Amino acid sequence: QKEVEQNSGPLSVPEGAIASLNCTYSDRGSQSFFWYRQYSGKSPELIMFIYSNGDKEDGRFTAQLNKASQYVSLLIRDSQPSDSATYLCAVSKAGTALIFGKGTTLSVSS
């Protein structure tokens, strides 16, 4: 079982819709959870991080964490064409580096 799993997509949504990106992880000792956005040919940029169960909102983005189900998600409200990118989920635990999933490609059509 891979440590961090994401559907590769592509996930296609119309402009203005909600995009829902999902990620599961295998290590129950994972403590920190991150979402990065990566445009083609560029380096990843941090969107959000979450440490505790529940929801965390930042503008149009909401991260959701459920440690019991080992599941973390990212919701993007009012999706824009500029949100079209690959979204990488990453997890870490004490003393280790971030472990990344392979990413989900999001396409927002205008």
The amino acid that residue 86 corresponds to is T
Asked if residue 29 binds another protein (CB under 8 A), the reply is no
Site for another protein (CB under 8 A): which residue of 74, 76, 85, 101?
Answer: 101
Asked if residue 100 binds another protein (CB under 8 A), the reply is yes
User: Would you say 108 and 16 are in contact if contact means Cβ atoms under 8 Å apart?
Assistant: no
User: In the numeric block, which tokens belong to residue 80?
Assistant: 């824009």
Comparison of 14 and 96: residue with beta carbon closer to another protein: 96
User: Would you say 88 and 101 are in contact if contact means Cβ atoms under 8 Å apart?
Assistant: yes
CB atoms within 10 A of CB 25: 21
Which residues lie below 8 Å from residue 20, measured CB to CB, with a gap of 6+?
A: 73, 74, 75
User: Of 26-34, 55-63, 64-72, 74-82, which segment contacts another protein by CB under 8 A?
Assistant: 26-34
User: Of 11-19, 40-48, 60-68, 69-77, which segment contacts another protein by CB under 8 A?
Assistant: 40-48
44 to 73, contacts with another protein by CB under 8 A? 44-46, 49, 51
Residues written for the chain: 110
The contact set with another protein (CB under 8 A) reads: 4, 8, 31-32, 34, 42-46, 49, 51, 88, 90, 92-95, 97-103
